[in-house]
């Protein structure tokens, strides 16, 4: 019989609770690289100072023919060095930065400042990008610290993550001001989503209004994401009006979620543009007007109508749907009639475009990815953070948008209404 002994030599160390799993993993390659990185950075900064002074350490400026000195360098002198901690994708290292005093035009002296290593810089740009990318991948500020502890040696705390994230704000503000004159947009997709943020120390729901444009080559591009109190006419008018003020051309086709405020804003600013009501949103509306026992039957009839092969088949099945459900459950029929012909505007496009033109799924997918990444935060720290995070997920490449289906025919003229879709 085999016995299990508890030999003290095999016992776990007493300090296991305070040690990390990977603390005793020694990597001579990493150690050697970090040492060479330190030497390389120090040499790079020394060479920068030599170019400014025009001479190496302990050297003098070359003399001219008349006994003077060349003026290739700036008058000044070195005075030691100071130690700086720098965190990069290579880890955290300590480097010696040379110091110098330069003679100013007025005869005084000023402290030399390196352009390669800015004053008070503690992290490289690549390190900041790595921290921000980890945050965008759906990791909250505390978990970023834990995830990058092995790389940065514990030099990244939640406050560091917050400071790095604030640096993104400059790019965000520039993006919101960029001109749109050069964007050859032929289609717009407009929708809103609701997120919870912290306002006055209370969790509050706000609306993010999102606009995606489709270029002539079929590529989708984010044009606007704005935080608003709701999806009112005034809110949507402000969003669309800002796009127009920055040079956005009049689009040829609009896809909307059916919100009354958006419909009114469009009628005010872009009257006459063909508008497609999202078929997925309308399907949800129909189900909301019926008991659960009828949901499968409604879905089957609605799907047969929306996904019919020709405009004529769609018109015929639309009439059949309304006749049937007027008798069986009239609120469903009334809900479909409320959408009117805008639910079937996609039939005026080439059939290859129908899949991409029927719904606002392009934005719905972004909503899903956005909410999946922020679920670790539960409540976002501010309203501004919500909109900026939505934009950053696309700007950083965390989320990519592909071309729309049927993009080869986007330049085709939209047909006039040739089929009677009225029920």
Would you list the domain boundaries of the chain?
Answer: 28-57+75-122, 127-174, 182-409
pLDDT value for 149: 66
Pair 226, 196: CB distance under 8 Å: no
| CA atoms in the 13 A half-sphere facing the CB of 305 | 24
For residues 171 and 167, what is the distance between their CA atoms, to the nearest angstrom? 8
Given this model, what pLDDT does residue 376 score?
Answer: 61
pLDDT at 206: 80
pLDDT, tens digit (0-9, with 9 covering 90-100), for 179-195 = 999 999 999 999 988 87
Task: Return mean pLDDT, the chain.
Answer: 80
| Contact criterion met (CB below 8 Å) for 143 and 135 | no
Average pLDDT on 394-422 reads: 77
Tell me the C-alpha distance between 357 and 281, whole Å: 13
pLDDT score of 91: 73
For residue 422, what pLDDT band results from cuts at 50, 70 and 90?
Answer: low
- Model confidence at 313, in pLDDT bands (50, 70, 90)? very high
- Region 213-241: mean pLDDT is 91
Asked which of 23-32, 50-59, 206-215, 238-247 is least confident by mean pLDDT, the reply is 23-32
CA–CA distance from 19 to each of 23, 97, 122 (Å)?
7, 33, 26
Q: What is the pLDDT of residues 6-19, one digit of tens each?
A: 444 444 444 444 45
Q: Dig out the tokens for 288 from the structure.
A: 């909301």
Task: Give pTM, 2 decimals.
Answer: 0.68
| Confidence (pLDDT) at 276 | 95
Residues 6+ apart with CB under 8 A from 387: 208, 225, 226, 227
| 3-state per-residue secondary structure call for 33-100 | HHHHHHHHHHHHHHHHHHHHHCCCCCCCCCECCCCCECCCCCCEEEEEEEEEEEEECCEEEEEEEEEE
Taking residues 113-125, report their average pLDDT.
79
Average pLDDT of span 315-338: 95
The per-residue pLDDT for 215 is: 94
Residue 110 clears pLDDT 60, i.e. is over it: yes
Contact between 76 and 102 (Cβ < 8 Å): yes
Confidence of residue 309 (pLDDT cuts 50, 70, 90): very high
User: CA torsion angle for 336, 338, 339, 344 (degrees, to 10)?
Assistant: 60
Closest CA relative to residue 212, chosen from 404, 406, 386 = 404
Backbone angles phi, psi at 281, to 5 degrees: -60, -40
pLDDT for position 140: 58
Query: For residue 413, what is the DSSP state?
Result: P
Task: State the average pLDDT over residues 287-308.
Answer: 95
Contacts with 388 (C-beta within 8 Å, 6 or more apart), sequence order? 168, 169, 172
Average pLDDT over residues 382-407: 80
Strand blocks (E) in 282-402? none
Q: Residue range 55-83: average pLDDT? A: 67
Residue 402 has pLDDT above 60, yes or no: yes
Look at 114-123, 161-170, 292-301 and tell me which has the smallest mean pLDDT.
161-170
User: 165: buried, middle or exposed (CB in 10 Å: 19+, 13-18, 0-12)?
Assistant: buried
- Average pLDDT for 267-291: 93
pLDDT band at 65 (very low <50, low <70, confident <90, very high): very low
Mean pLDDT value of segment 216-230: 90
Counting residues of the chain whose pLDDT is more than 90, the rounded percentage is 35
């Amino acid at each position: 019989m085999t016995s299990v002994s508890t030999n003290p030599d095999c016992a776990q160390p007493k300090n296991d609770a305070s040690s990390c799993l990977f603390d005793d993993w020694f990597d001579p390659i990493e150690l050697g690289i970090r040492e060479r990185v330190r030497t390389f950075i120090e040499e790079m900064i020394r060479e920068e100072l030599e170019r400014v002074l025009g001479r190496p350490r302990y050297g003098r400026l070359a003399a001219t023919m008349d006994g003077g000195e060349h003026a290739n360098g700036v008058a000044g002198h070195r005075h030691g060095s100071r130690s700086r901690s720098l965190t990069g994708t290579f880890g955290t290292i300590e480097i010696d930065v040379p110091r110098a005093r330069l003679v100013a035009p007025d005869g005084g002296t000023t402290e030399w400042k390196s352009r390669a290593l800015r004053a008070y810089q503690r992290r490289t740009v690549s390190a900041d990008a790595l921290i921000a990318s980890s945050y965008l991948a759906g990791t909250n500020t505390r978990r970023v610290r834990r995830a990058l502890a092995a790389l940065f040696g514990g030099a990244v705390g939640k406050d560091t993550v917050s400071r790095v994230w604030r640096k993104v704000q400059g790019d965000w503000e520039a993006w919101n001001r960029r001109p749109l004159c050069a964007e050859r947009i032929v289609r717009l997709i407009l929708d809103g989503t609701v997120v919870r943020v912290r306002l006055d120390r209370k969790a509050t729901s706000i609306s993010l209004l999102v606009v995606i444009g489709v270029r002539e080559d079929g590529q989708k591009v984010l044009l606007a994401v704005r935080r608003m109190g709701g999806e009112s006419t005034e809110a949507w008018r402000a969003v669309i009006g800002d796009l127009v003020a920055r040079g956005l051309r009049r689009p040829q086709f609009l896809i909307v979620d059916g919100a009354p405020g958006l419909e009114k804003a469009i009628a005010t600013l872009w009257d006459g543009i063909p508008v497609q009501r999202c078929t997925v949103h309308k399907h949800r509306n129909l189900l909301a007007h019926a008991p659960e026992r009828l949901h499968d039957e409604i879905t089957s009839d609605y799907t047969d109508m929306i996904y019919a092969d020709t405009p004529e088949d769609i018109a015929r099945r639309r009439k059949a749907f309304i006749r049937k459900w007027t008798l069986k459950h009239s609120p469903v029929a009334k809900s479909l009639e409320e959408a009117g012909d805008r639910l079937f505007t996609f039939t005026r496009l080439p059939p290859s475009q129908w899949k991409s033109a029927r719904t606002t799924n392009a934005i719905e997918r972004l909503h899903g990815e956005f909410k999946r990444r922020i679920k670790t935060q539960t409540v976002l720290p501010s309203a501004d953070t919500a909109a900026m995070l939505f934009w950053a997920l696309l700007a950083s490449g965390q989320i990519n948008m592909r071309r729309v289906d049927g993009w080869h025919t986007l330049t085709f003229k939209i047909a006039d209404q040739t089929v009677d879709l009225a029920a």
